[in-house]
Structure 1
Amino acid sequence: MNIVIVESPAKAKTINKYLGASYEVLASFGHVRDLPAKNGSVDPDANFQMIWEVDPKAAGRLNDIAKALKGASRLILATDPDREGEAISWHVLEVMKEKRALKDQKIERVVFNAITKQAVTDAMKAPRQIDGALVDAYMARRALDYLVGFTLSPVLWRKLPGARSAGRVQSVALRLVCDRELEIEKFVPREYWSLVATLTTPRGDSFEARLVGADGKKIQRLDIGSGAEAEDLKKAIEAANFTVSTVEAKPARRNPQAPFTTSTLQQEASRKLGFAPAHTMRIAQRLYEGIDIGGETTGLITYMRTDGVQIDGSAITQARKVIGEDYGNAYVPDAPRQYQTKAKNAQEAHEAIRPTDLSRRPAEMRRRLDPDQAKLYELIWIRTIASQMESAELERTTVDIAAKAGSRVLELRASGQVIKFDGFLALYQEGRDDEEDEDSRRLPAMSEGEALKRQALAVTQHFTEPPPRFSEASLVKRMEELGIGRPSTYASILQVLKDRGYVKLEKKRLHGEDKGRVVVAFLENFFSRYVEYDFTAALEEQLDRISNNEISWQQVLQDFWTGFIGAVNDIKDLRVAEVLDALDDMLGPHIYPARADGGDIRQCPTCGTGRLNLKAGKFGAFVGCSNYPECRYTRPLAADSEASADRVLGKDPETDLDVTVKAGRFGPYIQLGEQKDYPEDEKPKRAGIPKNMSPGDMELELALKLLSLPREIGKHPETGQPITAGIGRFGPFVRHEKTYASLEAGDEVFDIGLNRAVTLIAEKIAKGPSGRRFGADPGKPLGEHPSLGGVAVKNGRYGAYVTAGGVNATIPSDKTPETITLAEAIALIDERAAKGGGKPKRAAKKAAPKKAAAKTASKTATKAADPDAPKPAKKAASKKAAAKPKSDAVSKARAPVASAAKTSAAKPTAPKTPAKKSAGKARG
């Protein structure tokens, strides 16, 4: 029996059919091991020795593979043909060695670029060994991402409250978006005018010509800068006689684009189909894994993560055949087209993305696929066929026209083109982010010396526009041009930026959010080298050199770590106030707009004496008054937020007070009246704006409803106590005494009735505080805390929280139970423990447990304040390790022995800061 390992069960099922009864194909379900999400998983002091941990979800599948290997003659590792696929095969093999499941079995690695019977059977005939250089490149990339994340993110949390995390490549992508925001804000519009005449030939054909010269001087696009200049030229054109000076026609050729790579597929699917990159990749994965055709699952496209633009010779032959059948021999070029990649740092030489069988026309496949799959398949098919079609032949025509008005001579120009032979344009034309230029217009026939007549004259005022914000497609294109990231990472990078709230997508354009801009400003101030485009691209080149076996992966990591940990050490003693002052200066143009009256841009608009400056709170950075707490003026960062902070919606009919939309440090809210309308000891009535509502869309009627909350629905029929309805941190709810019940779909907080409210309260009581009918909520496990044991996410009476070893920490509003990571949970638990909170009350009754708890809290506080604090002595660590039962879950990466690293005195060390000192500085 031969055991074959692939990633997905869909592939396993298909390939099993291809190979027959002597093969058993099993799925790993992707990666089976990863670095544990805790400090120490990569040890720079031990030559970057790495600890790998088996994913609990993969343990059962690995056991199945180990069992299947008993009596098997071969283990064939057939994961995807890229760096990640090579790593999965290596991980599976390493786990099998740890389990001692391998005896005399022959171990082979095979790769195929498409899931078709021919591709799979051919691959089985050409096995190889696991490519160690590719595995090294994977480990270097994974270690880099880990070291940056687990070293930089805690610094970010301590020095910039409210920030979430920073990744190696994501931070650079975020900088691209935020730099564009800065360009837009600094942009000063410039006025210019254009004059376009509609002229007619003697035969009555009309066309447009633009003014390009006057009195012997060329006129560029921005040269006519005022209405007075435009009016002067208008009068001259209106009085002029027009004659054709020259007619120049030049032949031109337009060649087709190369077949799709991962990047170009994402860009074109975004432009033409409106698909987000992540959605495009999900559909492409499905097309790659295949559909049922004639009772057999067959892959429809080749592997979709690639930099390569070349395609197999047999596919080229088939494409030329299809072109001849569908369009005629005139559209088949004399020689097949060959393409070479132009992308920086192109990865392994994979084939471009193409259909596995070009005879499967899109019209035929449409009935077998869902709408989005059909659209993407058609796009890939068309692009592949077009790439092998004949070039388009064009004729570009330029007509210069003399306009004489007395002593003045003006020059106008008309340009256009004629398609003599459409070639590949008969099938496909690449989408563009900008509009087509006027050269695509077709001009009527004209000859030199021919008189023309003016039919109309358009004199138009324009203003230059700032550079456009990135679309997802244009950001992917820019990242590829700069050599940042890899095809397989673009979609996930964009998704992470959106999930963290660093950017938002509006009208298909990426906007840098305040949270993201503060993170970028922080990194540019204190870690500038690591968000430089050239540095990141150069690091990608180093990683590719590793995959080519040209350089040691440990050397690349050492070169990076030495400078990086030095930068971390440089900032560790900075107080939060110093960090905020630096960011305040850098973000000044964004934070403080020029005032219409020319006054001090930092003067507090409320008290008039305080100065505005950048502050940080639990929910992130905001602008506040220096006279706090006497003056409580706050607003978000955005320079335009102050103008929109106080928007009067109208009058409250009952009190005749203004109802205003305001922007505060915790988000937008509704306020009734101002402080002057209330007694000194009473604050104005306020209501938060729910997350699913936009402040810009807020109207008076809705605002009054929000201000009416919480409202009393009625008295509970059994207790006689009131039941109220309101909107809280987790959405709309009803409340009776101490019981809160969330409203369900179809319930409306403003008009829910008493009977329905009583039912919801009764159901909540029946379920218990945890929301479960039977037993306590076990929560969702996240992993292990370094000292407190298992970490879990739970839903409590007052909202979601994370817990470990009896220490409970509330999940802040900028995170959710579904998205919070183990590292973030550990940080919250450690912060809670450091404050002496979270322990069960009964623990306080006994002195010894209390002391132990304090000791544990102290340890975890040290861990929180300094994730790279000195580790316990090696001897103690060894004892601890020896005390643990043997497990297949954890193993060390293939790296030089740790003792070799110890001999190097030049090895950098992690920052060592006492917990109390760090905590004090964080508060500063």
Structure 2
Amino acid sequence: MNVVVVESPAKAKTINKYLGPGFQVLASYGHVRDLPAKDGSVDPEHDFNMLWEVDGRSEKHMRAIADAAKGATNLYLATDPDREGEAISWHVREVLEQRRALKGVEVQRVVFNEITKSAIVEAFKHPRALNRELVDAYLARRALDYLVGFTLSPVLWRKLPGSRSAGRVQSVALRLVCEREAEIEAFKPQEYWTVEATFQTEEGNRFTARLTHLAGRKLEKLDIANAAGAAAAVAAVEARSFHVGPVERKQVRRHPQPPFTTSTLQQEASRQIGMTASRTMRTAQRLYEGVDIGGETVGLITYMRTDGVQISGEAIAAARRLIGGRYGEKYVPDAPRVYRTQAKNAQEAHEGIRPTDMFRTPDQVSSQLSDEERRLYELIWRRTVASQMESALLEQVGADLLSGDRQVTLRATGSTLLFDGFLKLYREGRDDAEDEDGDRRLPPLVDGGAVDRLGVDSAQHFTQPLPRYSEASLVKRLEELGIGRPSTYASIIEVLQDRGYVRLDRKRFVPEDRGRLVTAFLTGFFDKLVQYNFTAEMETKLDAVSDGRVDWRQLLRDFWQDFSTQIAQTKDLSIKDVVSALDEDLGRHFFPDTGEGGRDPRGCPTCGDGRLGLKLGKFGAFIGCSNYPECRYTRPLAIENGDGSAGADGGDPNVPKKLGDDPDTGLPVWMRKGPYGQYVQLGDAEGDTKPKRQSIPKGMPPGDVTLAVALSLLALPRTIGNHPETGDPIVAGIGRFGAYVKHGPTYKSIGSGDDVLTIGLNRAVDLLASAPGRGRQPGRPIGDHPADGKPITVHAGKYGPYVQHGEIRATLPKGMDADAVSVAVALPLLAERAAKAPAKPAPRRRAAASDKAAAPARKAAAPKKAAAKSAASADTATKAKPAAKKPAVKKAAAKPATAKAKPAAKAKAAPRKAAAKAEEQ
């Protein structure tokens, strides 16, 4: 027997079918072990020895793999074809060796880039050994992230109360967002004007031209600085007649973009179909693992974690045949297009992301895909096919309109698409500009030709700062700087939002004040760690480890020497020093100079002579007066409005905020904060009567909750429509566990990608189709039971049709037509089944005195059982000696209080684990 280990159960089922008898394919369900979230898991004092532990959820999967491997001839490790996949294979082998499950078993590594039968069969013909260099690079990266997270985060908690944690790459990404925001705040817009005139040729064709020269001098962008200058320029144009000057024509080619890499897929999915990076990767994973087509599970795309843009010769040939047959030979270039990776720190030598079969068009598979899967597959298919199409050909035309005295010149430009080429199939999305592919035609113009001026207009403009980062532009910038890996960008962005460091506002990242404080602290006291070039150089060194050119332990030694010195220097750092540094760095943000009559933005509005500044308290940062305790003025950490109150984005969530009045009842609508988060409330409590309340959905920023949104929330649950199959209503609402849709007894949670207030009928039906028990039909009513008047229904069950009344179900006799069942037929069947039903278990009695007396003994035995279980499941590099176990058990049994303290210790460690774990897996 040959045992094959893959990562996911869906992949295991498909590959087992391809390989046939003689192979048993099992899933590891991702990573099987990790570094325990406690100090000492990476030990710099012992040359960075790493203590690994099998995850509790993975233990049963590893037991199954170990049991299968013990009787196997070969063990094939077929996890994903990237560094993470190589690391998972290494972990599986290490665990199996520790459990002595590989005696006489040959272990080999198998990689494939697509889940198709031909690719799988071919891969198993060419197995290889585990790549030690890739494993070493993984170990170095994991150790780095652990050391930064578990060393730096406690410093943050001590020196900057209210902070969460810091990570090696995540902190640099946060710095990018914060620095862009600082640039926007410091930006001073400048006024400028443009002047355009409308002309008409002798043939009656109209076109526009923009003023470029005035008084014989070329105008720069800001030269016309005010309305008076614009009026003078308009008058100068109106006072002159114009003729056509030299006409310039040139043809330019636009070439298609290469197939997608991980980062470019995330960028384009964000721009074109509005998918977040994390949703893009999850959807791509499903397309890679495959969907059922004609009774066979087929992977639709190649592996989606890649930096490569090249694709196989077979795929290129297929794309060229498809283009010629579908669009015509003029769209097929003379030679195949060959692309090469330009990305900095390209890490994976894989193909670009492409369809596994070019002739499997989106229309052919759309019925087997969800809406998200269909849109993403179509994007990948179009991009890949277009990458092998002919270039687009455009004609660009420019002409000057000259005054008779040559003192005033206007410029008219236009372009014409002569041949659409790849644009017939694919146009790249643009993040910050309009698509410039559209035609802007000029009429036929001849040098020296006469034109009539029809009108002159001026327009006021202001210079704009660089825009805030979107998901697409942030991913692009991280890739340009060589920071992190494209496969981790989605998790980095999620971590920044989950920790409350940034928020999305109109699809743009806005740093929260908490995030700005963390960035200011790190740049002030750990500047090297968050420098862009330092993080990029570390990625280069990790690449050198994967190439076998650098020893991974030496890399860690060099890093730790500098990093530990920086940490040591903060031990004597006082909170006063931290506050002073942060106050100086962030003063411009929290106390902007509004230029209002010499008003000091730091002046205290209460005592008049105090100075406002940044303060740190037990629960985080706030703004307070320097005359404390005489003056107790404070406000939340937020930018001040003109009335001296805190802005909505940073207002104190503990203070109720009135959103307005309900137009129907006249009652006030409040936003408040309770023990389970923020909620909206209609009216005020009166006696024992509680006002109507509704929780704010998870993922909805409180700053986005307006009166209209609050009223919509208070109106929940709402009926979306009727189910197309049953005719019963589908309802959307918010419950104890969040937003949901409901159809009959079936509930399905609404994810972060959908809005409970706007979700439509089609999307709700899709969600309900994936709910647990989705295959169970509501049943066909045939009448009411005479005993209680409750309905009797007929259902199509897994093991045949049955009738149901309340909780009683009775299977129909074999051969009985379900459509012909009546109440008279159903009653005896239900009665017979009810007579056979087992009696309900007796209610649990109260503990007797003897039980209470025995309880301490049971409690004392519990630590012994827990200790034995822990010893059996521990998975470390060296096993504990048997002699060491006995005293530990005796001690636990003798002192039950110690055992009771363990859950508290575990609870105390849990927040630390959640906060300090690095963002890269």
Instruction: Give the TM bin, normalised by the shorter chain.
Output: 0.7 to 0.9
The alpha-carbon distance between structure 1 residues 259 and 612, as it changes in their structure 2 partners (threshold 3 A), is: same
| Matching residue of 1:135 | 135
What amino acid sits opposite 2:277 in the alignment?
P
Report SS of the residue matched to 1:890: coil
The alpha-carbon distance between structure 1 residues 11 and 555, as it changes in their structure 2 partners (threshold 3 A), is: same
Deviations 1:731-754 (A, max 9, x none): 9xxxxxxxxxxxxx99999xxxxx
Judge which range, 441-450 or 29-38, deviates more. 441-450
Counterpart CA distance in 1 for 2:266 and 2:695 is 40
Is the 1:136–1:547 contact (alpha carbons within 8 Å) kept by the matching residues of 2?
yes
The alpha-carbon distance between structure 1 residues 120 and 184, as it changes in their structure 2 partners (threshold 3 A), is: same
* Correspondences of 1:442-841 after superposition (within 5 Å): 442-595=441-594, 596-641=596-641, 643=643, 645=645, 668-670=655-657, 689-690=672-673, 708-709=684-685, 711-713=686-688
The alpha-carbon distance between structure 1 residues 154 and 235, as it changes in their structure 2 partners (threshold 3 A), is: same
Is the 2:86–2:135 contact (alpha carbons within 8 Å) kept by the matching residues of 1?
yes
| Matching residue of 1:30 | 30
* Correspondences of 1:21-170 after superposition (within 5 Å): 21-170=21-170
| Matching residue of 1:361 | 361
Is the 1:181–1:512 contact (alpha carbons within 8 Å) kept by the matching residues of 2?
yes
Report SS of the residue matched to 1:489: helix
Counterpart CA distance in 1 for 2:242 and 2:37 is 76
Deviation at 1:206, TM superposition (A): 1.2
Counterpart CA distance in 1 for 2:654 and 2:38 is 33
Is the 2:694–2:713 contact (alpha carbons within 8 Å) kept by the matching residues of 1?
no
Deviations 1:136-176 (A, max 9, x none): 00011100100000000000000000000001100000001
Is the 1:174–1:520 contact (alpha carbons within 8 Å) kept by the matching residues of 2?
yes
877, 881, 886: which one pairs with 1:891? 877
405, 408, 415: which one pairs with 2:413? 415
Deviations 1:593-645 (A, max 9, x none): 11412132211112212211111234422211123344332223333456572
| Matching residue of 1:399 | 399
**Gaps (5+ residues) in structure 2?**
660-668, 699-711, 717-735, 737-866, 880-921
| Matching residue of 2:887 | none
| Matching residue of 2:193 | 193
Is the 1:669–1:687 contact (alpha carbons within 8 Å) kept by the matching residues of 2?
yes
Counterpart CA distance in 1 for 2:714 and 2:462 is 50
Is the 2:638–2:649 contact (alpha carbons within 8 Å) kept by the matching residues of 1?
no
What amino acid sits opposite 2:237 in the alignment?
I
Deviations 1:103-157 (A, max 9, x none): 1111100100001001111100110000000000001110010000000000000
| Matching residue of 1:922 | none
Deviations 1:361-383 (A, max 9, x none): 11111111111110100000000
Is the 1:663–1:669 contact (alpha carbons within 8 Å) kept by the matching residues of 2?
no
| Matching residue of 1:429 | 427
| Matching residue of 1:770 | none
* Correspondences of 1:272-421 after superposition (within 5 Å): 272-404=272-404, 409-421=407-419
Is the 2:606–2:633 contact (alpha carbons within 8 Å) kept by the matching residues of 1?
yes
Is the 1:662–1:670 contact (alpha carbons within 8 Å) kept by the matching residues of 2?
no
Report SS of the residue matched to 2:407: strand
Deviations 1:173-197 (A, max 9, x none): 0001000100000000001000011
Is the 1:196–1:458 contact (alpha carbons within 8 Å) kept by the matching residues of 2?
yes
Is the 2:417–2:439 contact (alpha carbons within 8 Å) kept by the matching residues of 1?
no
Counterpart CA distance in 1 for 2:66 and 2:615 is 56
What amino acid sits opposite 2:559 in the alignment?
F
Counterpart CA distance in 2 for 1:124 and 1:599 is 76
Deviations 1:493-524 (A, max 9, x none): 00000111100001111101101000000000
Report SS of the residue matched to 1:458: strand
Deviations 1:418-455 (A, max 9, x none): 11111111111111111245995221111100111112
Deviation at 1:355, TM superposition (A): 0.3
Deviation at 1:220, TM superposition (A): 2.0
Deviations 1:631-665 (A, max 9, x none): 33222333345657279xxxxxxxxxxxxx99765
Is the 2:177–2:469 contact (alpha carbons within 8 Å) kept by the matching residues of 1?
yes
Is the 1:312–1:351 contact (alpha carbons within 8 Å) kept by the matching residues of 2?
yes
Deviation at 1:397, TM superposition (A): 1.0
Report SS of the residue matched to 1:713: coil
The alpha-carbon distance between structure 1 residues 98 and 594, as it changes in their structure 2 partners (threshold 3 A), is: same
| Matching residue of 1:812 | none
Is the 2:639–2:646 contact (alpha carbons within 8 Å) kept by the matching residues of 1?
no
Counterpart CA distance in 1 for 2:363 and 2:510 is 38
Deviations 1:868-897 (A, max 9, x none): xxxxxxxxxxxxx9998465522379xxxx
The alpha-carbon distance between structure 1 residues 252 and 328, as it changes in their structure 2 partners (threshold 3 A), is: same
Counterpart CA distance in 2 for 1:2 and 1:634 is 69
Counterpart CA distance in 2 for 1:358 and 1:641 is 57
Deviation at 1:669, TM superposition (A): 3.5
The alpha-carbon distance between structure 1 residues 590 and 431, as it changes in their structure 2 partners (threshold 3 A), is: same
Is the 1:645–1:662 contact (alpha carbons within 8 Å) kept by the matching residues of 2?
no
Deviations 1:691-743 (A, max 9, x none): 89999xx9xxx89x66x34x4226xxxxxxxx899999999xxxxxxxxxxxx
TM-score under structure 2 length normalisation = 0.73
Deviation at 1:198, TM superposition (A): 1.4
Report SS of the residue matched to 1:84: helix
Deviations 1:667-702 (A, max 9, x none): 553499xxxxxxxxxxxxx9873489999xx9xxx8
Report SS of the residue matched to 2:248: strand
Deviations 1:272-313 (A, max 9, x none): 000011011111000000011121101000000000000011
Is the 1:589–1:639 contact (alpha carbons within 8 Å) kept by the matching residues of 2?
no
Counterpart CA distance in 2 for 1:490 and 1:730 is 25
Report SS of the residue matched to 2:174: helix
The alpha-carbon distance between structure 1 residues 522 and 667, as it changes in their structure 2 partners (threshold 3 A), is: farther
Identity in percent: 57
Is the 2:677–2:695 contact (alpha carbons within 8 Å) kept by the matching residues of 1?
no
Counterpart CA distance in 2 for 1:883 and 1:461 is 75
Is the 1:153–1:164 contact (alpha carbons within 8 Å) kept by the matching residues of 2?
yes
Q: Give RMSD over aligned pairs.
A: 3.0
Deviations 1:387-439 (A, max 9, x none): 000111111111111024xx562111111211111111111111111124599
The alpha-carbon distance between structure 1 residues 403 and 644, as it changes in their structure 2 partners (threshold 3 A), is: farther
Report the count of equivalent residues: 707
Counterpart CA distance in 2 for 1:351 and 1:663 is 46
2:6 is the alignment partner of 1:6 = yes
Counterpart CA distance in 2 for 1:272 and 1:582 is 42
Counterpart CA distance in 2 for 1:597 and 1:373 is 58
Counterpart CA distance in 2 for 1:118 and 1:50 is 39
- Structure 1: which 4+ aligned runs deviate by more than 6 Å? 691-695, 723-731, 745-749, 881-884
The alpha-carbon distance between structure 1 residues 186 and 420, as it changes in their structure 2 partners (threshold 3 A), is: same
The alpha-carbon distance between structure 1 residues 488 and 92, as it changes in their structure 2 partners (threshold 3 A), is: same
Report SS of the residue matched to 2:195: strand
TM-score under structure 1 length normalisation = 0.73
What amino acid sits opposite 1:689 in the alignment?
R
| Matching residue of 2:757 | none
